[in-house]
Amino acid sequence: MGWVVLALRKAQLKAKINDNNLAQLQLNRELQNLTSFSTAIADGYITPSEIASIGTSLFGDAMDFMYNSTYSADAVAQEQTSYYTDLYSGLSEEQYYNNPDVASQVQLYYRDGALDENAIYNEFLEENLKEYASEYFMPILNEKQKEIENQLTELQTLGEAMSQELQAVDDDISNQIQSNTIKLN
């Protein structure tokens, strides 16, 4: 009769192992989504197609990033553009020609003899988007990744323990059945 109880335990362990495997699969998928998201925002931009490819669990984070990064980077880029436009526009010929570093920097932003504020703005916007992604958002994603990796490690350890117990139960069932067999001589 003891092997019946062991058979029930075996069925219970198999169900728990299956649940554990499913949880590990879901965490691995979430980890892949986080990696895709990190890759997508590394350049400071995220496109709608990138948002669609990262999965529903990170959709809110992606929308937050898209809104906040653009808003934050735009505000800083406008401020920097205004500052450098005033600086470069106010240079005297003497300041311009006597400082080769300033002259080479200013020439980057002159198009057809006029200061191109859009070029200045776009450069600062791109720089600030990358900075926002790396300094403000990537640490959040890294923390989420560590949490998921810890959960995954716990589940793997639990899965190994359950598999070992299942093997022990299998062995016990076999021993119980063999010891209870009727031997005919």
- What does the DSSP assignment read for 102-116? HHHHHHHTEETTEE-
pLDDT tens string, the chain, 185 residues long: the values are 476 788 888 999 999 999 999 999 999 999 998 988 888 888 888 888 888 888 788 888 888 888 888 888 899 999 988 887 877 776 655 665 666 666 666 666 666 666 778 888 888 899 999 998 888 888 989 999 999 999 999 999 999 999 999 999 999 888 887 777 666 66
Q: Do 159 and 17 meet the contact criterion of CB atoms below 8 Å apart?
A: yes
Q: For residue 184, is it within any domain?
A: no
Q: Is the pTM of this model over 0.75?
A: no
Q: For residue 185, is it within any domain?
A: no
Domain that holds residue 152: 2-179
Query: Structural domain tally of the chain?
Result: 1
Q: Do 160 and 13 meet the contact criterion of CB atoms below 8 Å apart?
A: no
- Alpha helices by DSSP H, listed for the chain, are 2-41, 48-53, 59-89, 93-98, 100-108, 117-132, 138-179
Report the C-alpha gap between 122 and 78 in whole angstroms. Answer: 10
Residues in the chain: 185
Q: For residue 78, is it within any domain?
A: yes
Q: For residue 171, is it within any domain?
A: yes
